[in-house]
Amino acid sequence: MSDLDAVLFDFSGTLFRLEGDESWFAGMELDTDDDREVDAHVQAELMRRLTAPTGTSVTMTPEALDAWVNRDLAPHLHREAYMHVLGQSGLARHHAESLYAHAIDPGSWTPYPDTAPVLDGLRRRGIKTAVVSNIAFDLRPAFTGVGDVDEFVLSFEVGAVKPNPAIFQAALDRLGVSAERALMVGDSDEADGGARALGCAFALVDPLPTTQRPDGLISALRTNGL
């Protein structure tokens, strides 16, 4: 019998991954002296910049930095921050708009191969689940047909971002579970690992492409006795 009553999951890079379809980049060029083509390497870097949980990727004005720091607290700041990142990355405004629209569309996100089996298995065992995400859009529709989650604790709805203990405490309170009986699973030691401050166990997963990480969630849970 496991000592855990609940598992908290990060979203991006943990349960789902934003993996750009080549059609998203059709006709795009970087606004540089040589109008560099948005090839596979550039596509990968743009996607990284859209999903990196911490740090900055481009030069920031004071206004842009303020939006970046607070991007997961309000949709308008999220948009402002990422439009700046994409513009500084060399994308024309209309291309940046198009790519950003994909990023905030829950239907654009791909679940990891073991996301559905893990969520189903935990539910069958009576272990509660919550998604705890630094995000500024409603990701709930992404789970349609994938798996049931007991609670969604989203930064822009609760007014706190990881690693602030408040967002993890909100999840624990909603689930009615003590920190010592919960595991946080995420791809950022800095952000998701903040749950340890409350006494939660923590498991780190690698935000690899979904085709390269078939059982990362299963391994993380097994390591923690599930």
**Tens digit of pLDDT per residue, the chain (226 long)?**
468 999 999 999 999 999 988 888 888 888 765 566 778 888 888 888 888 766 677 888 899 999 999 999 999 999 999 999 999 888 889 999 999 999 999 999 999 999 999 999 999 999 999 999 999 999 999 999 999 999 999 999 999 999 999 999 999 999 999 999 999 999 999 999 999 999 999 999 999 999 999 999 999 999 999 8
**Same-domain status, 139 and 33:** no
- Rounded-to-integer distance, Cα 221 and Cα 226, Å: 5
**Same-domain status, 176 and 213:** yes
User: What is the structure's pLDDT at 22?
Assistant: 84
**Same-domain status, 102 and 159:** no
- What torsion do the CA atoms of 198, 202, 208, 211 make, to the nearest 10 degrees? -120
Are the C-beta atoms of 137 and 104 separated by less than 8 Å?
Answer: yes
**Same-domain status, 200 and 215:** yes
Q: At what angle do helices 115-124 and 216-223 cross, to 10 degrees?
A: 40
Within a domain: residue 1? no
Within a domain: residue 70? yes
Range of the domain at 99: 18-107
**Same-domain status, 152 and 182:** yes
Counted domains in the chain: 2
Sign of the CA dihedral running 168, 173, 175, 176: positive
- Rounded-to-integer distance, Cα 200 and Cα 169, Å: 10
**Same-domain status, 67 and 172:** no
Within a domain: residue 43? yes
Within a domain: residue 182? yes
Within a domain: residue 185? yes
Q: Where are the beta strands (DSSP E) in the chain?
A: 6-9, 16-18, 109-111, 128-133, 151-154, 182-186, 201-204
Amino acid at 200: C
User: What is the structure's pLDDT at 55?
Assistant: 67
pTM for the model stands at 0.91
User: What is the structure's pLDDT at 35?
Assistant: 60
159-171 residues labelled b (16+ CB within 10 A) or e (exposed) = ebbbbbbebbbbb
* Residue 130 in tokens: 């919550």
Phi, psi dihedrals of residue 21, rounded to the nearest 5°: -80, 145
- The residue out of 86, 107, 128 marking a domain boundary is 107
**Same-domain status, 101 and 200:** no
User: What is the structure's pLDDT at 208?
Assistant: 95
